[in-house]
Structure 1
């Protein structure tokens, strides 16, 4: 009995030691390379996700970026967070300028209070305008509505013939992903997804940082979807 308990403890220890904790706190790694198990620390949006062969996490400042590549791209062509100050706060999106065929996405953590359709909370009158602007931005980043039949795209997603959509649910979280495509439907030009658990919303995005849109193949988009479906909130 004691030997069995010791062996079980050793097994748990090995599994824990083989998991890479990704983040920017002391003892965490800012880069992880698959194949490996990872736990990504984004404060309340803490989640696990396996990295497969030739898949990476790169954690910059306060956000992680997933990249599927044999090697990490150079800084000049790497995915990055674009931010700009506005009168009511900060606007942002994730963009990439080089190798527009590469599968990738960036992640931000948000609260359901900052989505018009996910909360009944009313902000103080002094903050109402700024909160509504933030909600409008987040509603556009997550253009789907939760119904009795699950998540459905809403009018903010645009015309139905401009994207592919997939939704899924589980005991602890639910979510959806959009792949916006070009007219030929051969390439995904922009990716947007949102995962919801309690009051936490994980916003994922990928788009081009130039006039030339992304050109992710169907196989590349499948790789992104498989990665997103494997995310499990801790």
Structure 2
């Protein structure tokens, strides 16, 4: 028995050493390349995520970018977080101006109290600023968790223009939406939201110009696989 345990120890250590801590604190990396298991610190969201070959994570504080590429794009052309000040804080989205066929997405961490439609529980009355923030977040996460699972809200738009899938994991629950022109397989915009307790991870990918994204069905599948690997810690 002792010999068997000793034989297994190197394999166990190899798995542990393959996990990389992602963040901006001491001992953490801002950029990680797969294949590896990434442990991400996006306070207050903490989660793990599996990266396959030619997949990257870039932590920019407070956002995180996932890119499927042989090499990390130049910062001038890489997908990025766009922000603009508003009366309730900041309006934001993730966009790219370059490779519109490349599978990618950005992520931000939010609190469940900053939404009004993620669950069927009515939100507490609060300030006008918080109500405006909830309206913006509801547009980013256009679905509700009901007794029968996740269901798109009216904010999701015309059901003929998107593919909707629930994402139910051991440590998270959520959904992903891939928007596409009717009867066309290319996805022009992608959004997903994962919830665990009071934490909500918002993911998005869209174009930063009048020309939409054109991510293939295979690229969308690669994105879904990456998102499904996310597990809150």
Q: Bin the TM-score by the shorter chain.
A: over 0.9
CA contact (8 A) 2:178 2:190 kept: yes
* Residue matched to 2:30: 30
CA contact (8 A) 2:45 2:201 kept: yes
SS at match of 2:144: strand
- Deviation, structure 1 residue 191: 0.4
* Residue matched to 1:176: 175
CA-to-aligned-CA distance 1:157-181 (integer Å, 9 cap, x gap): 0010010000032343211000001
* Residue matched to 2:146: 147
CA contact (8 A) 2:193 2:200 kept: yes
**Distance of aligned partners of 1:31 and 1:133 in 2 relative to their CA distance in 1, 3 Å threshold:** same
Rounded to whole Å, the distance in 1 between the matches of 2:156 and 2:49 is 27
* Residue matched to 1:159: 158
CA contact (8 A) 1:123 1:131 kept: no
Rounded to whole Å, the distance in 2 between the matches of 1:33 and 1:54 is 7
CA contact (8 A) 1:104 1:224 kept: yes
**Unaligned residue ranges in structure 2 (runs of 5+):** none
Range 32-41 or range 132-141, more displaced: 32-41
- Structure 1 residue runs of 4+, over 3 Å off? 1-14, 118-121
Task: Give the 5 Å matches for 1:7-156.
Answer: 11-117=11-117, 118=119, 120=122, 122=124, 128-156=127-155
Rounded to whole Å, the distance in 2 between the matches of 1:171 and 1:116 is 24
Q: Report the count of equivalent residues.
A: 231
- Deviation, structure 1 residue 40: 1.1
- Deviation, structure 1 residue 4: 6.3
* Residue matched to 1:216: 215
CA contact (8 A) 2:169 2:231 kept: no
CA-to-aligned-CA distance 1:167-220 (integer Å, 9 cap, x gap): 032343211000001244221000000000000000000000111000000000
Rounded to whole Å, the distance in 2 between the matches of 1:15 and 1:201 is 28
**Unaligned residue ranges in structure 1 (runs of 5+):** none
